[in-house]
Amino acid sequence: MGRAGLLADAALIFKKDLRIERSSKVVTVQVLPFAVMTLILFGFGISPDARVLLGSEESRTVLAQVTPGLIFIAVLFSALLALGRSFGVESSDGTLDGLRLAGLDPAGIFLGKAAAVMVQLAMVSAVVTGGAFLLFSVDVGWSPSRAVLLVTTVGAATTGIAAAGTLYGALAAGLRVRDTLVPLLVIPVLAPVLLGAGQAADAALFGAVADGWPWVGALALFALVYVGVGILSFESLLEDA
């Protein structure tokens, strides 16, 4: 199958998953509120009044200070739900076998599903980021370069999460214990993404923008590795799912 076939198959699966989401609205009305609730829980868990000293005079709330990390922790937890959903729709009626019987390229199925998860996660990330700014009163001296760094960070991080998550979701597909197994498998794998995204977002909000870009590079590399691994291994994973 040629490259055009691969991308066409990917586009088909991508549209299919988003169409399912549009009619079922599981991510929109379940995962998204969960993500926002996570932010509120951070507020409950970490006192909103606690402050860190930045110098002799200045101080910032602890919540604002740790916002970069909290955003991606919330996104990571939401991703687990979105991934569960992504493979949940394929678990009944042998739909994964159906997709293969339809002659679709397994690599295309991987790309399509990962892209659909990525779009949904990007949406969740946007809401979570906006919500965090609002709820945690993060005051940032915005500049275009900071905004570009933050948006790129979110894009690279969600791509990595979606690619690695789709790979591991397929690994656990068809198992009764999938819901508990996927977090165990995926969280250690995504630990570097949380590290990188946290650092890059911290640079975008509070630090020097130049410090953030190497981390974005690492995130992009991570995403690339997992897209590659997914394309190569999805055929054997689907064979007997």
Partner 1 sequence: MSALTNTLVGPSSSKVSRVVGIMAIIATVFMLLLALVWSPPEIDQADAVRLFYVHVPSAVIALYVAFTITLIGSIQYLRKRSVFWDLLAHASTEIGVLFCALVLVTGMLWGKPTWGVYWQWDPRLTSTTVTFVLYTGYLAIRRMDLDPAVRSKRAAILGIVSFANLIIVRYSVEWWRSIHQSATFGLDTQLDDLMLFTVFWAVVTFLLIFTWLLIHRFRLAWFEHQASTSSLDDAIAARRAERSHPPLAGESV
**Nearest 10 degrees: Cα torsion 59, 191, 70, 178:** -160
CB of residue 196 to partner 1, shortest distance in Å: 6
Tokens, residue 121: 């996660």
Which CB sits closer to partner 1, 143 or 236? 236
Which CB sits closer to partner 1, 11 or 195? 195
Segment lying near partner 1 (by CB under 8 A), choices 3-11, 48-56, 106-114, 233-241 = 233-241
Say how many C-beta atoms besides its own lie within 10 A of residue 44's C-beta: 8
Query: Binding to partner 1 by residue 188, rule CB under 8 A?
Result: yes
From CA 2, how far away is CA 13, in angstroms rounded? 17
Q: Going by C-beta distance under 8 Å and a sequence separation of 6 or more, which residues neighbour residue 240?
A: none
Which residue of 4, 101, 177, 208 would you call a contact of partner 1, by CB under 8 A? 177
Query: Binding to partner 1 by residue 199, rule CB under 8 A?
Result: yes
Of 218, 109, 110, the closest CA to residue 162 belongs to: 110
Residues numbered 140 to 169 that lie near partner 1 (CB under 8 A) are 167
Which residue of 192, 206, 220, 224 would you call a contact of partner 1, by CB under 8 A? 192
Report in angstroms the alpha-carbon separations of 59 from 63, 70, 88.
12, 19, 46
Residue numbers at the binding site for partner 1 (CB under 8 A): 167, 171-172, 175-177, 181, 184-185, 187-189, 191-192, 195-196, 199, 218, 222, 225, 229, 233, 236-237, 239-240
